[in-house]
Each structure stands twice: as structure tokens, then as C-alpha cells.
Amino acid sequence: MPPVARAAEADRSRESLRPFCSTDYTRLCDGLDLNGPEVIACFRTNAREVSPACRAAIADSAAAAPDQPASQ
């Protein structure tokens, strides 16, 4: 996949998580760049505290993009 298409896909993936993970982001990772790898690291560090709905959305998002590493 070309880099531009990969970036567009990543943007769509992040947007699909917003309804399920915005509360978790605000509670656990507020102030981190939403487009940066720090948010992913924050969710991993706080995995036990991430809501079930957010965890499911992250898993669904990762499954929808199998050619991308889960950390992107």
C-alpha cells in the first residue's frame, strides 16, 4: 500500500475508535498527541483500565487492517 493510502487508512481507523475510546483517552492519556504513538503506548500501559468497548474497538480496528502492525 502506498504511504499516502496507508496514512489515510490510519486516519479512518483512529476516527472509528473515537466513539468507543474518547472517555478512556481523556481519563488515561489526556494531553498526548492523538496522532502519535504515545497514545497507543498509553493504552497498552493502562490496558487493565481501558474499557471493554474501547478494547473491542481496538481489536476490531486491528483485525480490519491485517497488513499493518498493531502498533501503528
Query: Taking the CB of residue 43, how many other CB atoms lie within 10 A of it?
Result: 21
Residue at 10 is within a domain: yes
> For the whole model, what pTM was predicted?
0.70
Is residue 43 assigned to a domain?
yes
Q: Which domain, by its residues, includes 56?
A: 3-64
Confirm if 19 and 60 have CB atoms less than 8 A apart: no
Give me the number of domains the chain comprises.
1
Q: What's the pLDDT band for 16 if we cut at 50, 70, 90?
A: confident
Phi-psi region of 39 (alpha: psi -120 to 50; beta: other; left: phi over 0): alpha
Q: What is the rounded average pLDDT of the residues 41-62?
A: 91
pLDDT of residue 48: 95
Residue 10's pLDDT band (cuts 50, 70, 90): low
Cell of residue 2, nine digits:
502506498
Please check whether residue 71 lies inside any domain of the structure.
Answer: no
Is residue 7 situated within a structural domain?
yes
